[in-house]
Amino acid sequence: MNLLWVVLLPLIGTLVPLFTERFGRNICTLSVALLPAWSLILVLMYAVDIFDGQAIRQTIEWIPAIGLDLSFRLDGLSLLFLLLILGIGLLVILYARYYLSAKDSMGHFYAYLILFMSAMVGIVISNNLIQLWMFWELTSISSFLLISFWSHKSEARKGARMALTVTGAGGLALLAGLLLIGNMVDSYDLDTVLASGDLIRSHAAYPVALVLVLLGAFTKSAQFPFHFWLPHAMSAPTPVSAYLHSATMVKAGIFLMARFYPALAGTDLWFMIVSLTGLITLLIGAYVALFKHDLKGLLAYSTISHLGLITLLLGLNSDLAAVAAVFHIINHAIFKASLFMAAGIIDHESGSRDMRKLNGLMKYMPYTATLAIVAALSMAGVPLLNGFLSKEMFFAETLNQSTLGSLSWMIPLLATVGAAFSVAYSLRFIHDVFFNGEPIDLPKTPKEPPRYMKVPVEILVGLCLLVGIFPAYVVGDLLHVASSAVLTHDVPVHSLAIWHGFNIPLFMSFLAMVGGATIYYNRRHLFQFQSQFDEPDAKHIFEGVVQSIVNASERIISALENGSLQRYIFLLLLFTLVMAGLPLLDLVQNTGSRPQIPLDGVTVTGAVLLVLSAIATVIWYRRRFLALIFLSVVGLMVSLIFAKFSAPDLALTQLSVEIVTIILLLLALFFLPQSTQKESTNRRLSGDLLISGLLGCVIGTICFAMLTTPLDTISDFFLANSKTGGGGTNVVNVILVDFRGFDTLGEITVLGIAALGIFKLIAKMRIYMPVRDDDGRAWSNDPHPMMLEMVSQSLLPLAILVSVYIFLRGHNVPGGGFIAGLITAVAIIQQYIAHGVQWIKPRIKIDYQWLIAGGILIATTTGLGSWIFDKPFLSTWFDHFNLPWIGEFELASAMLFDLGVYLTVVGSVMLILANLGKLTTSERFEMKEND
């Protein structure tokens, strides 16, 4: 047998109702109960060992990297909780069978409920901190689903969200706390942690870890000031409330404190935080409960109050108090579950939960009423019922502490006050609902519920009595093993007798009874007093807080992310400036040791022209045509610079790219206004000027420093190996098609994609076509002058010839596929310009898209060819041949690659320009999408 099954069975059971829902309510309920019941039987079989004082463990390695193992441990405390979770869980399943209406989806309900049950089971048998946290969060998630079960109701959604947020936030704090503890003891194993209490308590980070863990516990257990979510979780169906707020969800926080009691408790800090929080919660809960007109509201605040009581006990740092806490966990679970169920029955059978309307139900449902009255008396702490016993122990413990120094006497006093209110609201529950005259306009006439709906309540109330009368026989052993698991040492001697003689605790009980009765009797004055205060609705406050956070976030986002490209570019450049500029502060001198070439007139003139035309482009950027002319000057100067500094390939490329770009821009200008309005303010302009100026200075400095620094690079290898290894004397070309042919393959792909992308964009465009220019002149009537037609037609073969020549010589002297492709493309475009689309269409039937694809395909296939020779992709081959009349010539695979480049370039340029050009003609409407 296997501990894993204890949690696995209910977990599998989560899916059962989804499949059995269709077979009717009874079968569904039965099938749902099956697996948890099996799990309960497993637990009971282990119980024998536990009562012998053993703890059962099992570990399966899971994710060692985060210290997460599937690790289980069944000891007395786990056993107690498992009995509560599975036992009360089974009763709730039965109860819900009768509670849910036909409209509710039973399958979903049970699925969520069982998921929740599995999560709770997981928490209490975890022997690993991370695993514990995992199940802990799972309870938050599944309780979210349960609370929001009636999701069409606004209050259910809000209540669920509030519970999720509060417990989720606590869960995150808990995670941090657990990780901290894990760091301290260097293990996430619970056994190790619990055995290292002294190490943890003396660790410097102990206060932080303690606070974080307690945040988790307090949020879950609805301790002040996090208690506000619990009453709003009452919008859940009553079976859920009966389960979550008696035995499970809220008890998870209590369990956590009890579980970590050996590791964290025993310090003054623990006492201060835990006991005071518990005390305040106890008082507030008890006080507010009295004023709730909603049955479930009363029970919700009473739950808060009792949780406070248990917390207070755990905080007292005394062994007996811990025993009392464990005892009260049992008692509270039993009587509170039965009370919620009774409230649900009343709601179900009378249609209301309002105590101002519900009166005199004793007459209509005497049996249920009796059960509820017994449970309520137990809640009030009346003798012979289980609530009395733990309350006596509680009173005794409040007397036995002195940590608050001379103020310690206040704790028993306040405890008695709390207990008095507890008696008062219990009395109200009994008197208002079951007596106190006749019901006031209820939606339906109350009657007894179906037979089996009462069974769970009967069992629980029976337990109240049994425990109350024969405590030692019924729960003595269980309490003993559970307490010893909390204390990890011998449990102090305690007596579970009903009668301890006349002592102070009994007197306190008596005071509480009398006080409670007095309060209830004078409730009208108290209600009047209370009604002068506005009752704050936590839901609205919470939603308000969240909404204001959201609003603040929206303001921040809309202020920062304002959709202004100028701003984003400004930030990008600013960041660039800082990143490039700061390192330069360490650059002692910006001139390197490399000898400088003397200046000459031509160079200076060229540089000045370059600078001026660049500046002119910026100055006249709003007059687009003018700016374009200046821009072309910039391009021209750059190509000249390339030519001067011995880079003829680059110069040629730059020149042809320049031509193609200018044509492209001219085409684009046709669709744009010739000049634009001034859109930037002077302030923005000066800012932009500043940043671009600074950035220019920084980049300029870097350039100068770089150019004057002697350089040792891998370029020398290329120079040395170009001819011997690549078969060409034009190193630039050999680099492009051989050494770094892969880059080139990538770049022609980029070109091809760019063309496809632009075509994709303009194919969808339906842009306004201007008929006349800004000055009102119509476009020329004669778009294709004869001179131009004649000249360009005769130029075409010449241009093709030139590109073939440039292509062929590329490997050894400046040239190559890229430049050749651009030249061909320009020649073809010229035909478009001269003759128009109509004329070209029947003459050039090439699909440019195929040209692009074919080009890339040829280049890639060339690269793949080397695989035949068992060489890596793009390995080149070349050899020299001799043919008669032609002489010696060289054949290289690189030429085939270059052919691919050529085709891609022609295809890409043509696809863009021809189609952009077509937009200006009537042809544009014929462009269809190919699919």
Nearer to another protein, 581 or 770 (CB): 581
Whole-number Å distance between alpha carbons of 852 and 908? 6
Nearer to another protein, 574 or 616 (CB): 574
Nearer to another protein, 370 or 591 (CB): 591
Closest to 702 in 3D by CA, of 572, 583, 574: 583
Where b means 16+ CB within 10 Å and e means fewer, 381-407 reads bbbebbbbbbbbbbbbbbbebeeeeee
Residue type, 370: T
State the number of CA atoms in the 13 A half-sphere of 684 facing the CB: 10
Closest to 237 in 3D by CA, of 150, 174, 169, 349: 150
Check: CB of residue 241 under 8 Å from CB of residue 233: yes
Whole-number Å distance between alpha carbons of 722 and 465? 100
Report CA Rg, the chain.
43
Q: How far is the CB of 397 from another protein (least distance, A)?
A: 36
Q: How far is the CB of 243 from another protein (least distance, A)?
A: 21
Q: How far is the CB of 104 from another protein (least distance, A)?
A: 15
Which structure tokens are listed for 835?
A: 């003759």
Nearer to another protein, 500 or 594 (CB): 594
Nearer to another protein, 131 or 318 (CB): 131
Q: How far is the CB of 71 from another protein (least distance, A)?
A: 14
Check: CB of residue 415 under 8 Å from CB of residue 508: yes
Check: CB of residue 37 under 8 Å from CB of residue 90: yes
Q: How far is the CB of 188 from another protein (least distance, A)?
A: 10
Closest to 475 in 3D by CA, of 333, 305, 604: 333
Q: How far is the CB of 165 from another protein (least distance, A)?
A: 6
Three-state secondary structure call for residue 882: strand
**311, containing H or E segment:** helix 295-315
Which structure tokens are listed for 421?
A: 């209110």
Nearer to another protein, 295 or 638 (CB): 638
Residue type, 822: L
Residues near 133 by beta carbon (within 8 Å), at least 6 away in sequence: 171, 174, 175, 178
Whole-number Å distance between alpha carbons of 78 and 76? 5
Q: How far is the CB of 55 from another protein (least distance, A)?
A: 25
Q: What is the DSSP string of 362-410?
A: GGT-HHHHHHHHHHHHHHHT-TTSHHHHHHHHHHHHHHT--TTGGGTTH
Nearer to another protein, 173 or 263 (CB): 173
Whole-number Å distance between alpha carbons of 633 and 637? 6
Phi, psi of 772 (to 5 degrees): -140, 165
Q: How far is the CB of 835 from another protein (least distance, A)?
A: 27
Three-state secondary structure call for residue 652: helix
640-648 long-range contacts, CB within 8 A, separation 24+: 640/606, 641/606, 641/610, 644/602, 644/603, 644/606, 647/732, 648/814
Phi-psi region of 266 (alpha: psi -120 to 50; beta: other; left: phi over 0): left
Which structure tokens are listed for 542?
A: 């919470």
Sequence length of the chain is 931
The residue behind tokens 């506000």 is: 228
Q: How far is the CB of 916 from another protein (least distance, A)?
A: 15
Nearer to another protein, 443 or 710 (CB): 710
Nearer to another protein, 534 or 929 (CB): 929
Q: How far is the CB of 753 from another protein (least distance, A)?
A: 5
Q: How far is the CB of 353 from another protein (least distance, A)?
A: 23
Q: How far is the CB of 863 from another protein (least distance, A)?
A: 8
Check: CB of residue 156 under 8 Å from CB of residue 225: no
Q: How far is the CB of 727 from another protein (least distance, A)?
A: 12
Nearer to another protein, 64 or 887 (CB): 64
Check: CB of residue 203 under 8 Å from CB of residue 269: no
Check: CB of residue 6 under 8 Å from CB of residue 121: yes
Check: CB of residue 460 under 8 Å from CB of residue 338: yes
Nearer to another protein, 182 or 344 (CB): 182
Neighbours of 530 (CB within 10 A): 14
Q: How far is the CB of 443 from another protein (least distance, A)?
A: 26
Residue type, 418: G
Three-state secondary structure call for residue 609: helix
Whole-number Å distance between alpha carbons of 36 and 42? 10
Three-state secondary structure call for residue 352: coil
Q: How far is the CB of 14 from another protein (least distance, A)?
A: 12
Nearer to another protein, 130 or 288 (CB): 130
Strand spans (E) along 65-174: 68-74
Q: How far is the CB of 107 from another protein (least distance, A)?
A: 12
Nearer to another protein, 375 or 751 (CB): 751
Q: How far is the CB of 723 from another protein (least distance, A)?
A: 15
Check: CB of residue 424 under 8 Å from CB of residue 285: no
Nearer to another protein, 130 or 341 (CB): 130
Nearer to another protein, 646 or 713 (CB): 713
Where b means 16+ CB within 10 Å and e means fewer, 99-115 reads bbeeeeebbebbbbbbb
Nearer to another protein, 728 or 741 (CB): 741
Residue type, 708: T
Q: How far is the CB of 275 from another protein (least distance, A)?
A: 27
Nearer to another protein, 133 or 327 (CB): 133
Nearer to another protein, 387 or 741 (CB): 741
